[in-house]
Structure 1
Amino acid sequence: MTLDRYRSVINPSYTVPIGYSQLADKAGINAHYLRRAVLPTLALRGLIAIAAKGFDGTIYQLRCDHRVIELIVSATTQIYDAELPSNRPPELAYQHDSAPSPSSLPDWVNREKWGTLAPDTIQRLIDRSGSEEQAREVLEIIVYNETHGPERSRVRNRLSVLSRYLSSPNAEIWPADDGYETISLRNARLERDRALKEKALAEEALKARQEERRLRFLSSLTDGQMAWIKHEAKNTVDHSPGSRQGFIKTSTRLAHYKAEEEKFIAEWLERTAYGESVPEHA
């Protein structure tokens, strides 16, 4: 294989920097075919990985013996056409007699979009993402990004994106806009909703306990104690600055009495908890 000739002398597991055009010319194949078909296939199979990219070209990591790579490349050249017609979906170029049967794929894999993935690639995806649920999300987001987000950054080749994700430990797949709810966002939303519901229930229970305590307190008061509370409430309102200056009208005076009465009830509800007793009206 051509990449094998460009192994680094310092570190034979890696190549020296080499560009697509140079690599395609040395290999005697079409550059578009090389970039869209051969390299993604080798990466998906775990045979190569992109170590670094720069102005001088791409450095590839070669993960197996050159004889194995040659066998894969030989098989690959029988699978793909060097030139894809413009009206032909790229994914159709990956269908061939030895392609994995759709029945061999898990039920959560979209056959229409990802029917050509090999079982070992699916397993690598699960291992890389952490679970089947997250692996499914990765595939769904890649397809989602084909039609969402800024036009210039939309996914053009989903296999290339998946290949980079599998071969680069630091690569991540994110939705191109806010229209896709990821697993982490959904879990956060559900957790928030659950916390709000629990808070509302706790507040409702607290309110019910407080009301029950208030009713017990009122039922324990004698007529004389209740009369004392009403007398003190009325006296407080009548001698308030607002009352002396005429700001409290006769039509609203009863409402002020009741509001002040509730304040006295709340105060003595707490004071009785410390052993005090409501006075009796003389």
Structure 2
Amino acid sequence: MSAADLIETTATAGAAIEQAVAVFMLHPQTYGESVAAGYENPLAGYVAGRGGVLGDATGATVSAAFAVFEPAGLSAMWEEGIAVRGAAGAAEVYWNQAAEFGRKYLADAQGVDRIAALGEKLIAVAPIAASPLFAGWRAMPLAEDAPARALQVMFVLRELRAGLHFNALSLAGVSPIEAHMLNKGPKYAAMFGWPEPYADGADKKDRYEDAERATNRRMAELVDEALDAAEAQELARLTAAALETVKANVPS
């Protein structure tokens, strides 16, 4: 496989993983489970849950790790969330939610055991430097059953790519709001808590695209270290199929 083909294959897997985990994170079922667990504001449950692996950190520290959220709002949701079960307790709740989501919606997906196995090989070789959320989630114990484990592994891989991408954006001098505007636009920027008016980042489009290429290139290097060409293609194929299974199975 050529370097260009490996980058494309890796990007395909990365996109499928990002979207599949986003379905879990954004689904009303997940929000409902967070409310049932004591988080009156399900977004506070999300922030405390995802950020809980950082430990008893300040809101500013968690905001820095999340990177693309408006800092003041993110910090407030963190404080609200950790008041319920603490940081570690929130992470445990969220991790169990991810496992249950996988059991419910990935049970009939093709090759979930292979997604987990191949993903774990990639996780094992990836450095944790400057990727605190990846470092925290990598240390969490994985479920034993394949559907749950597969979604959890994809969750960790999503944090790996996100950490690399946030670093690439920072080095490129692209701010979080500029990245949102260059990626999915004002509705997405609003979803992440940013107030108008928005800096559109139009003069940094080339920098944003360079950061995206740098992220894909670095992920491909890690895939090349962990997997052979056939395994890299298998991971891309199976994660794409898993995404389609999730879309088909999860109620709208």
- The TM-score bracket by the shorter chain reads under 0.3
The structure where strand makes up a greater share of residues is 1
The structure where helix makes up a greater share of residues is 2
TM-score (norm 2): 0.23
TM-score (norm 1): 0.22
